[in-house]
Structure 1
Amino acid sequence: MPYINTKTNTVITKEKEIEIKKKFGKAIELIPGKSENWLMVSFEDHCSMYFKGKSDDSMAFVEVKLFGSADSGAYNKLTAAITKILKEELDINPDHIYVKYEEVSNWGWNGSNF
């Protein structure tokens, strides 16, 4: 049950959104037991954002939430993949991307909880 939300101050075209979603679907497999089959992805583009007091560079804040937990090595691999994808697709430098992880013990779906 992973969920990835990407906020950025850049504009994401529908084509780029689909490509990033596809690449996130593959990257989530870096977390043991996770796959695109349960992945939900959302995008918030053209956000008003500041980093280091400035708003003139492209930047992103990515939230990854997942049911259960993973080790730091898996998170490191996923962070590398996410920042690479956003560099390739949106030309956002990795040093202007934050990735936040949240492990969730209660996750509801289809009228009940896991």
Structure 2
Amino acid sequence: MPFIISRVNIRLSDEQETALKAGLGQAISLVPGKSEASLMLGFEDAYRLYLSGDNSQPMAYITVAVFSNHGHHGYEQLSEAISHLFHRVLDIDPLRIFINYEDIPAWSVAGRTFSDGRAGAE
């Protein structure tokens, strides 16, 4: 189950959020074995972000958490797609779009736990 949470320092309209949701749903398929069918998204707008002590320009901090992708396959293509999407929809300069990837070794839903088998993830 991939999870993408986007924090932006501007307000999102319903239309912008819908466009981001659709674009991220398509983009996640750039990671082998991942699809919109299992994607969870979160959006935090008007988030207090500063870059070099300044918050006057639109910017984004995006966290992409992916289960069992040790080799980080597809991350470069996903980063390009996310940067393009946020630039197109929100007019954020790609130099102000930061993407953090988190590897998920284990997760749980409905009381059922999934583990990728790494040591310490059991």
Shared fold per TM-score greater than 0.5: yes
Match of 1:54 in 2: 54
More deviation in 3-12 or 66-75? 66-75
Q: How far does residue 24 in structure 1 lie from its aligned partner after superposition? A: 0.2
Runs of 4+ in 1 over 2 A off after TM superposition: 70-73
Structure 2: gaps spanning 5 or more residues:
115-122
Which amino acid counterpart does residue 52 of structure 1 have in structure 2? Answer: S
Q: Hey, what does 1:102 align to over in structure 2?
A: 102
Q: What do you get for the CA RMSD once the two structures are aligned?
A: 1.1
Q: CA deviation at 1:71?
A: 3.3
Q: What is the aligned partner in structure 2 of residue 41 from structure 1?
A: 41
Larger radius of gyration: 2
Distance 1:109 1:84 in 2: 32
The count of residues paired between Structure 1 and Structure 2 equals 114
**Higher share in helix:** 1
Higher-RCO chain (CA-CA 8 Å, sequence separation at least 6): 1
Does the alignment pair 1:15 with 2:15?
yes
User: Could you tell me how far apart the structure 2 residues matched to 1:109 and 1:5 are?
Assistant: 18
Unaligned runs of 5+ in 1: none
CA distance in structure 2 between the partners assigned to 1:41 and 1:28 by the alignment:
11
Task: Give aligned-pair identity as a percent.
Answer: 36
Alpha-carbon contact 2:3-2:40 (below 8 Å) kept: yes
Indicate the SS of the match to 1:107: strand
- Taking structure 1 as the reference length, what is the TM-score of the superposition? 0.96
Shift of 1:73: 5.3
Report the AA paired with residue 71 of structure 1: G
